Amino acid sequence: MIELKQLTKTYKTRNKPTTALANLNLSVQKGEIFGVIGHSGAGKSTLIRCINLLERPTSGEVWVGGVNLTSLGQKELQIQRRKISMIFQHFNLLSSSTVYDNIAFPLTLIRTPNSTIKAKVMELLSLVGLEEHKDKYPAQLSGGQKQRVGIARALASDPDVLLCDEATSALDPQTTDSILNLLLDINKRFKLTILLITHEMHVIQNICDRVAVIHDGDIVEQGPVAQVFLKPQHAVTREFIYRESSGQNAYNLILPNSNKGFTQRVKITFLGEQTYDSVLSQIVRETGVNFAILQGTISTIKQVPYGQLLVSFEGDPAGIDQTISKLRARNLDVEVMN
């Protein structure tokens, strides 16, 4: 659905040119929720604005729905942009217009009949749960309600792609969760392709199918969220993961000397229903190895449970090796830490 090919964006400044994107390649499949995460200044906002050509790339190509947007004239581009909607961190609502009129705004621009506008707006008000607020103005709404108006407005033109520019960054955690659940529902209901940028790992973890990590204007790591989250390869990715899980201290523990013989520290990753199974206790009973849990986490990645344990095995080296082999034979990821 979205294909970025060798995308480069350079800004001319007084002192020297600044490169925001450097030969970036990215592919987003139809109907998926794709997240791009990165620190401030990494190029996230430039990337998302290049997709609908609010920022025109210095070089490279932007393909959306099989159309090369970078090859179009202004009139053709305006037509294609109707298939791409966007929601923003600070909502960008019309302050002097009601909720109803804000949602109707994209339809009035293309001179849609009033009867059609009314039916569409009422449908969207119901979808985002704002029927009772249709005559209010943005100043009378909470942050979460404003973002729901922004989402409804973005859906008014029946887009194929929804771009989310830090859509939850200005919201409290509870409101963030409600907006993420709404985006999940919209994705499932309309098979809408959603690309979101964020600096918050829990946003990626909660709703995305795949994720790309952007750093210094390029993609340094990408893949299915579970793969990237549980086995991060790049230092920037590991920083996001460990900051989210607050596990960085646990993974650097210095174990005291043990009088029980050989010790081996391992990280065990569970995914899916195995997260709740007693696999570890079953296997150590078979091998006779003792263990101590140093740190543990159970959470979900887009409603799929996962768990991670940092464990110290104590006992005979051959028994510990057998324990690790048996865990791996049960399709668990086991990483030897020392």
**Tell me, what's the pLDDT at 241?**
80
CB hemisphere CA count around 314 (13 angstroms) = 12
- pLDDT tens for 294-309 read 888 888 888 788 888 8
Beta-sheet strand order (sheet of 33-37): 84-88, 161-165, 193-198, 33-37, 210-215, 218-224
CATH 3.30.70.260 residue ranges in the chain?
Answer: 250-336
- The C-alpha atoms of residue 278 and residue 269 are separated, in whole angstroms, by 13
- pLDDT tens for 167-205 read 998 899 899 999 999 999 999 999 999 999 999 888 999
pTM for this model (two decimals): 0.83
CATH 3.40.50.300 residue ranges in the chain?
Answer: 2-244
Sequence-ordered strand ranges (E) for 238-332:
262-271, 290-301, 304-315
Which CATH class name applies to 2-244?
alpha beta
3-class SS of residue 174: helix
Q: 250-336: what fold?
A: Alpha-Beta Plaits (3.30.70)
The closest of 193, 245, 236, 172 to 44, measured between CA atoms, is 236
Query: Is-contact 197 1, C-beta < 8 A?
Result: no
C-beta atoms surrounding 177 within 10 Å: 17
